[in-house]
């Protein structure tokens, strides 16, 4: 299952052999900055002349006029393209790649292009440098898709061993069947939890633009909003020694953090297709439901794979992915056409005694993840909370979840979000954040101005 490897992709440097395109793109001209082109998933757009897709299943979608369409590529790459909803066709090459060796009928057309994921031993040059249309032809905005779904997982969700990889994976196929935008946040070999032997973990890498394949910069979640997040993780964790209890706790935390990023999304936790950590996955969903989040769902996949639906002991083949698509698509459709459960209105805030557990749960040398549990030790609920504390040295908070965190110098402040504003008497809530250094030693915790006992 482990195929992920650190690879160097010079996304911002144009190689010799193709002319650089002007960053002054005009709408309709087919250059990367053409606003008629929809780039779905996580793309690096820092170079206006060369856009780079990250993770699996990212794609571009655009309408165009005329009878022909070609891609301007930098170096050799494998990709799949579909025109007007036809089956995806594989293309391999560099420079100018002709997607219409047989000319189309004149008129309006829609194009989808998905590049093969650069991972493991495959080092193709996934860099989009624009479209080439026939004289007088233009791009146009394709029909808007009503929703976007993220599929989060490992090599199964990346489409490993299927005939066209991400394109023949259940995530891509479900999105296309429902007419939704979709993306697969998946790399081969991924675990849910951090492990002592270095399994790449979604709890750390989901938040990165490329999952750590091209640097560790954090993804800007304001660039798109997911309406649904489908998680299929746990197949790899067992072979890396993750205990059932640790898996369940990590899954619960992961769901909580994703909820903070997408407050109105429906979250779906799938039973792994071979049943690993099924009980723990369902328990994590129940924990989130008990915490007041009714829009988290356990998807029981028992019996979904037909006889002969695996290409090996764990990876679905094309028939397996089709069977999963047939079962999963109606589940998502039913929930994503239902409005999210409203959050109860908060009551008057009351301060009380408190205790704080402040733990470093991830450390990658140039930064760290901290999880904070805030306990109400009083006999009355706390309704509306603000936690303050002091950070060590020059440490900066770069992202947070389950609270709104601000910082001034070493003084940090976390304020509740709407759905975790109330901490019952003898109850607790949690939030977390990422910093630009692994320093520990935070001090001076106070809840609504009252000092808290702290364990750090």
pLDDT above 90 for 120: no
pLDDT above 80 for 345: no
Model confidence over 366-423: pLDDT tens digits? 888 999 999 998 888 888 888 999 999 999 998 888 888 888 889 999 988 877 888 8
Model pLDDT, residue 66? 97
Model pLDDT, residue 426? 86
Per-residue burial over 398-416, b = 16 or more CB atoms within 10 Å of its CB, e = otherwise: ebbbbbebebeebebebeb
Model confidence over 157-184: pLDDT tens digits? 999 999 999 999 999 999 999 999 999 9
Q: What are the angstrom distances between the C-alpha of 166 and each of 1, 121, 195?
A: 15, 16, 26
Closest CA to 417 of 387, 389, 451: 387
What are φ and ψ of residue 284, in 5° steps? Answer: -65, -40
Angle CA(62)–CA(68)–CA(70) in degrees, nearest 5?
Answer: 70
H or E stretch covering 73: strand 69-73
pLDDT above 90 for 449: no
Closest CA to 298 of 277, 339, 269, 322: 269
Model confidence over 243-291: pLDDT tens digits? 999 999 999 999 999 999 999 999 999 999 999 999 999 999 999 999 9
Write out the two tokens for 75: 């170096």
What is the distance between the alpha carbons of residues 354 and 114, in angstroms, rounded to a whole number?
Answer: 51
What's the predicted TM-score (pTM) here?
Answer: 0.73
How confident is residue 350, by pLDDT bands cut at 50, 70 and 90? very low
Report how far apart the first and last C-alpha atoms of the chain are (Å, whole number): 36
pLDDT above 70 for 364: yes
What is the distance between the alpha carbons of residues 372 and 310, in angstroms, rounded to a whole number?
Answer: 41
What is the distance between the alpha carbons of residues 47 and 49, in angstroms, rounded to a whole number?
Answer: 5
How confident is residue 355, by pLDDT bands cut at 50, 70 and 90? very high
How confident is residue 340, by pLDDT bands cut at 50, 70 and 90? low
What is the distance between the alpha carbons of residues 20 and 349, in angstroms, rounded to a whole number?
Answer: 58
Lowest mean pLDDT among 68-82, 110-124, 178-192, 293-307: 110-124
Closest CA to 452 of 305, 353, 369: 353
351 three-class SS:
coil
Model pLDDT, residue 189? 94
pLDDT above 50 for 20: no
What is the distance between the alpha carbons of residues 418 and 131, in angstroms, rounded to a whole number?
Answer: 45
What is the distance between the alpha carbons of residues 368 and 36, in angstroms, rounded to a whole number?
Answer: 39
Model pLDDT, residue 29? 95
Model pLDDT, residue 351? 42
| Residue recorded with tokens 């003084």 | 411
Model pLDDT, residue 111? 98
Task: For residues 134-156, give the mean pLDDT.
Answer: 96
Model pLDDT, residue 448? 85
Model pLDDT, residue 244? 95
Model confidence over 29-45: pLDDT tens digits? 999 999 999 999 999 99
What does the mean pLDDT of the chain come to? 89
Q: Return the percentage of the chain with pLDDT > 70, whole number.
A: 91
Handedness of CA 233, 235, 236, 241 (dihedral sign): positive
- For the chain, the residue count is 456
Model pLDDT, residue 420? 83
């Amino acid at each position: 299952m482990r195929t992920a490897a650190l690879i160097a992709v010079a996304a911002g440097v144009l190689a010799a052999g193709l002319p650089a395109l002007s960053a002054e793109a005009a709408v309709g001209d087919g250059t990367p900055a053409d606003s008629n082109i929809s780039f779905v998933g996580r793309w690096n757009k820092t170079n206006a002349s060369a856009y780079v897709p990250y993770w699996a299943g990212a794609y571009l979608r655009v309408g165009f006029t005329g009878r022909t369409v070609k891609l301007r590529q930098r170096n050799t790459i494998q990709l799949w393209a579909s025109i007007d909803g036809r089956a995806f066709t594989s293309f391999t090459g560099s420079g100018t790649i002709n997607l219409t060796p047989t000319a189309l009928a004149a008129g309006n057309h829609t194009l989808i292009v998905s590049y093969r994921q650069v991972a493991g031993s495959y080092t193709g040059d996934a860099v989009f440098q624009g479209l080439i249309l026939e004289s007088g032809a233009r791009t146009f905005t394709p029909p808007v898709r009503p929703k976007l779904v993220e599929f989060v997982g490992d090599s199964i969700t990346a489409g490993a061993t299927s005939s066209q990889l991400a394109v023949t994976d259940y995530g891509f196929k479900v999105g296309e069947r429902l007419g939704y935008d979709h993306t697969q946040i998946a790399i081969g070999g991924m675990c849910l939890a951090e492990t002592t032997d270095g399994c790449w973990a979604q709890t750390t890498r989901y938040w990165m633009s490329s999952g750590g394949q091209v640097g560790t910069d954090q993804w800007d979640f304001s660039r798109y909003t997911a309406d649904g997040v489908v998680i299929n993780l746990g197949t790899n964790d067992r072979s890396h020694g993750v205990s059932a209890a640790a898996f369940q706790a990590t899954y619960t935390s992961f769901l909580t953090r994703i909820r903070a990023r997408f407050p109105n999304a429906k979250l779906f936790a799938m039973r792994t297709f071979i049943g690993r950590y099924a009980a723990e996955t369902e328990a994590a969903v129940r924990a989130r439901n008990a915490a007041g989040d009714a829009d988290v769902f356990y998807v029981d996949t028992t019996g979904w794979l037909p006889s002969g639906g695996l290409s090996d002991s764990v990876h679905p083949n094309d028939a397996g992915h089709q069977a999963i698509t047939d079962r999963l698509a109606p589940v998502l459709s039913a929930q994503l056409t239902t409005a999210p459960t409203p959050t109860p209105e908060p009551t008057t805030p009351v301060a009380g005694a408190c205790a704080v557990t402040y733990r470093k749960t991830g450390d990658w040398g140039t930064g760290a993840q901290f999880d904070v549990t805030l306990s109400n030790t009083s006999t009355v609920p706390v309704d509306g909370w603000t936690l303050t504390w002091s950070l060590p040295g020059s440490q900066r908070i770069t992202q947070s979840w389950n609270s709104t965190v601000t910082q001034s110098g070493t003084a940090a402040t976390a304020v509740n979000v709407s759905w975790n504003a109330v901490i019952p008497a003898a109850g607790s809530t949690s939030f977390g954040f990422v910093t630009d250094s692994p320093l520990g030693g935070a001090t001076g915790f106070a809840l609504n101005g009252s000092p808290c006992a702290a364990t750090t």
